[in-house]
Amino acid sequence: MTLECINPSDLPPQQSYTQVVVATGSKMVFVSGQEPEDINGNLVGPGDLAVQARQVYANLGRALAAAGARPDQVAKITIYVVDYQRDRCLATIEAARKTLFGDHKPADVLLGVTSLSPGYLIEVDAIAVID
């Protein structure tokens, strides 16, 4: 199997991991957890889950595009949310998710976590399968 590692120029630079890995074979795309950062790696929307969720899904869309994948080719996502409370968070997360996926509903896992990077409220990773 061959892996193609991609760090798109329109996503924040990373030193300890690759933003996107394309596995050749049945061509699966593994996208690292996307954080609420702008292109320069600055936190967007401190304390605002809605703003951060929209940024995370926008970054996820750019990462998928860098690998030649579309949102409707995503098979699975994992969503990590700091201090998750269904009644306070779910509608906000779902609204942001629809901006990328529309009616497409990949399998997912939503995990409430104690913390992410300081000030970060949400992170989402993905696995896509492409032709």
More confident residue, 32 or 86: 32
Alpha-carbon span 93 to 88, nearest angstrom: 10
Average pLDDT over residues 19-48: 92
Residue 66, number of CB atoms within 10 A of its CB: 19
Judged against a pLDDT cut of 70, whether residue 16 lies above it is answered with: no
pLDDT of residue 22: 86
pLDDT tens string 80-119: 999 999 898 999 999 999 999 998 989 889 999 999 999 9
88 is in which domain, residue-wise?
2-129
Number of helices (H), then strands (E), belonging to the chain: the values are 2, 6
Identity of the highest mean pLDDT range in 3-7, 43-47, 107-111: 43-47
- pLDDT-based confidence at residue 39 (cuts at 50, 70, 90): very high
Backbone angles phi, psi at 108, to 5 degrees: -150, 165
Domains of the chain: total: 1
CATH assignment of the domain containing 84: 3.30.1330.40
Residue 71 DSSP symbol:
G
What integer pLDDT is reported at residue 126 of this predicted model? 97
Helix (H) or strand (E) holding 33: strand 28-34
**pLDDT(127) > 90:** yes
Residues near 31 by beta carbon (within 8 Å), at least 6 away in sequence: 19, 20, 60, 63, 64, 67, 125, 126, 127, 128
Give me 58's structure tokens. 């926008």
